[in-house]
Structures are given as structure tokens and as C-alpha cells.
Structure 1
């Protein structure tokens, strides 16, 4: 995740948490931590068997990730719904990016492997989880572009569905930013273009009743701990919808810019249709 987008219209600071709010933070936080790190332990133990047998392929452990992410919403009390289905073809998934919750949202239904900036690997807790679940870390160093492209190709050929956030940053959850075509370049490599598909996905958060519509958005210089506390403390929660659009074959597009424009249009249309 790359939290750099900002807005002049900042959300107002919420009221101090009451003791009832802290109780919700405590039980939800403990339950979420037990689920997450318990799932991580099981995943790591399974990887001891899975890795020597299957190498880069992961036929077993993604089910652990799905179980954890789906039940995270049950602990939070958030509604979760999907429209459409994930593609069966080899390829990548591209989606709009609104929050750290996207990790749970997009893993809860299907197997995906996130593509994230390299700094995330060093984040306490989140970095460990990202590594364990097969996240691909990238750097903005142009000197590493070739090596990163080769990593993408290897993972895509192995059947992994890599998930990209082409906006390059998270937002307030009320809009879709222009898609950057850079990461689409890897899809046009020799040996990939003819076999890969890309599926656009719209992620739409609905705030709890009576709260700011941007309740779940995490952007700019927002502190992660503060945003997490607010989410855990909510008396009533909102919901999230994941809309899977029709996948498209990479070879049907002349280049990365045309493919990026098509995916952005699909995500934006789905986002606007379900935002209300």
C-alpha cells in the first residue's frame, strides 16, 4: 500500500472513545489478533510441507488466508458481499484501493497475491503477514525493473493471480483515481501476452449509518493505529461490496496504456453503480 493521495477536505476528528468503545476495541482486537496470527502459524506449518512438494505453487495455504480474511469481517461485524465471479483463466486482478481493509476484502473470496511496495515488507506485523501469504514486493528503482518483471512472469506462469492497485495509492474510498499503466507492461512480455487475462474489480465501502461516508478510507498521512482503533470501536459497522467484472485477454489490446484505460473504465463504472 502506498498512502500518498491527499485531500483538502479532511475528516473531522471523532469524539474520544468511551469505555464501551474501548470494550469493543479490546474484544474485537483480541479476537482479530488471535484469528490472524493463529492462521499465520497454521499457514507457516503447512508451508513446511507445501514448499518442498510444490515450490512456488501454493495449492493449500491460500485456503487458510481466505478463512482468516472472511472471518475477520464477522469479528468486525461488517457486511460483506460479492457480485460476479473471479476468472478461471491465468492472469492478474486490478482493483481500486481505499484502505488497509482491502487486504481482507480481496482475499476473503478468492486466491490472490498482492503486489506491494517494498517498504511494506518491513512493517511490524503486516510485513510478516504479507511475506507469509506470498505478496510480491516491488521497488521504484528503475534498475530493478527487469528483475521485477521476471518475478511477475514467473508467478503468473505458475498460475498465481497477482493483484495490482494501478492507482498507486489509497484514497478516501469515494472515488477512483486514474490508473497508472506502468505495471501493465509485464503482461505484454513474450510468452505471457497470448495466455494471460486481466480482471478489473471494483471495491466499494459503505460507511456505518450516521458516519462520514469516508469512514473506511485510509489516505494521506492518516495514522494506521488511529484508523484501526476507530474501525474496531464502531458501535455499528457498515459493509463492503466486491464487484468482479468480465476479464479481458491481454493480446486483445495493442499495449499497456490501452489495457489500463479499459480496466480503469470498468472499475470506475462498477464503483459508481454500487457507491450509492
Structure 2
């Protein structure tokens, strides 16, 4: 995950009280135990699951969901859902990207497989988790478009719901950046277009009472460590809402630009509405 978007604004300064430090340590230890326990169990089950089911994962995704759900509960971050999740149709999910928390939030209620840039596979610690949970790694190189399509076709054909962040970077959680169209091109391959559906999802964070509305946003030059500590130390965390929009079929759109523009608009609408209500 790369934090590169910056509008020049300054995030709120991280100030942690002694009680906050204690809370952060306790929560951090609990979350670490949950993640490591889930990872060990998942790697053990994959020894059986992989040779028997191949690319299919009938068991281990439930562990991912359980780990992410427990993590949010330990943080005290409430999760609300709106709309209906795409279950029977084969396809992908696209969402706005505000924070490292998105990984836990989006995994907690839906069996999804993230699509990440190839560099993530080399990140210490993170790579283990990403590989164990079935993350799809890609190189953003047009010369490898054919290989990407074949990989997507295999995973989508197995019923996997691939999840993309078309903005390409995280934000302050109060806006949706223009969606990049490159990855949408793969969906128009003749082997995918006929059955492929896309479900746009809006991730709406609501800050703890009295905090900056951008509390959960991770952007600009913010190091992950202080941002993580801030969330861990917060006495009463806020909430996040996932708005699941109606899935659309790729074949209904003329090209990748039209599909990307539609998804961007649908994902942005709930956030714009919430900002308008806050301004009243």
C-alpha cells in the first residue's frame, strides 16, 4: 500500500496519554495474537485445502473474516452495512481507499481477495499475510496484460470475488479520487466480459466524537506507526459503514473508461451526501 496522495493539508497531531499508551499496548497485543493465531491455523489448513481443492478456498476465507471481525471489535470500531452483497454472480468489487483499516473492514463481512501491486509481495510481514489470504499480485505493466487476464479468469472462474482500489492510493477518507481505468481493461476480455459483474462499494468512516473528521484517513507523508498507535489508543473509536451498491454487468458498458466513470460516481455519491449533511 502506497501513501502518495497529498492535498497539502496537515493531519491532526498524534497525542497519546499514559492511559492511551496502556490501551494501545493491550489492544495491540490482543490483535497480534489474533492475527498470528489465524495465520498459523490458515497455513496448516492450506496444507490440506490446496492439494484437495486447488485454487478454490472453501475453508480458509472464513478464518480471514473471523480475524478481521475480531480485530475491529478489539479496536471498538463499529461496522455497519447498507445494501446487499453480491453473492451468486461472478465478478469483482471496487471500493474507495482511505486507510490500512480498509483491509480489515472489507474482509470482515465479505469473502474477497485483494488485488495488490507486485511490490507488496516483498514487504516483510505483510507479504506473509497477503499470500496466506490469497491476494492477487500484479505488475502494472501493459506488457503483462495477457498474463493478468489469465490470472483473473482463473480466480474469477473459481468464484473468487477480487477487490480493487481503483484510486491507486489512500486518502483522507473525505473524498473519492478519480478511478484509474487500467485494471478495468482486463474485465473486457472476451473470456470475462460475458459473465463479469462489478459491485461498487463505498467505505464511509465516521470519526470518534470530538475528533478531526479525517481521523481514520491515511495520506500524505504520515508514517503508519503513529497512525496505527492513534487508532489503538483511542478510548472510543467511531464507526465505518460499507455501502454495497447494485452490481452491474461489464457487457453493459462500451469500454473501460465508461465502466470506471460509472463506478467512481456511484462510490462517491454516499460520501458527497454525508458531507452535505455535515455542512448543514
Per the TM superposition, whether the score is higher than 0.5 is yes
Structure 1 segment 85-96 matched on structure 2, within 5 A: 85-88=84-87, 89-96=89-96
Cross-structure match for 1:46: 45
Give the Cα–Cα distance (whole angstroms) in 1 for the partners of residues 104 and 14 of structure 2: 24
**More deviation in 191-200 or 2-11?**
2-11
Aligned counterpart, 1:26: 25
Q: C-alpha displacement at 1:245, in angstroms?
A: 0.1
- Give 1:103-182 correspondences, 5 Å limit: 103-182=103-182
Which runs of structure 2 are paired with 1:2-17 in the superposition (5 Å)? 2-15=2-15, 17=16
Measure the CA separation in 2 of the matches of 1:222 and 1:132: 27
Could you say which residue in structure 1 is the equivalent of 2:57? 58
> How far apart are residue 200 of structure 1 and its match?
0.2
- SS of alignment partner, residue 81 of structure 1: strand
Match of 1:215 in 2: 215
Runs of at least 5 residues in structure 1 that lack an aligned partner in the other structure? none
Shift of 1:44: 0.8
8 Å CA contact 1:207–1:215 kept in 2: the answer is yes
**1:24-65 Cα distance to aligned partner (Å, 9 max, x none):** 011100000011111111111111111011100111110000
SS of the equivalent of 1:192 reads: helix
Q: Contact 1:2 / 1:117 at 8 angstroms: preserved in 2? A: no
CA distance in 2: counterparts of 1:209 and 1:11, whole angstroms: 17
In the alignment, structure 2 segments of 5+ residues that lack a partner are none
Matched, 1:248 2:248: yes
Scaled by the length of structure 1, the TM-score of the pair is 0.96
What residue is the counterpart of 1:204 in the other structure? 204
1:148 positional shift: 2.0
Q: Would the aligned equivalents of 2:94 and 2:201 in 1 still touch at CA under 8 Å? A: yes
Give, in angstroms, the shift of residue 141 of structure 1: 3.1
Q: Which residue does the alignment assign to 2:70?
A: 71
Q: Any idea what the Cα deviations from partners look like across 1:101-142, whole Å, max 9, x if unmatched? A: 000010000100001112222222222111100001122233
* Number of residue pairs the alignment of both structures matches: 275
CA contact (8 A) 2:38 2:67 kept: yes
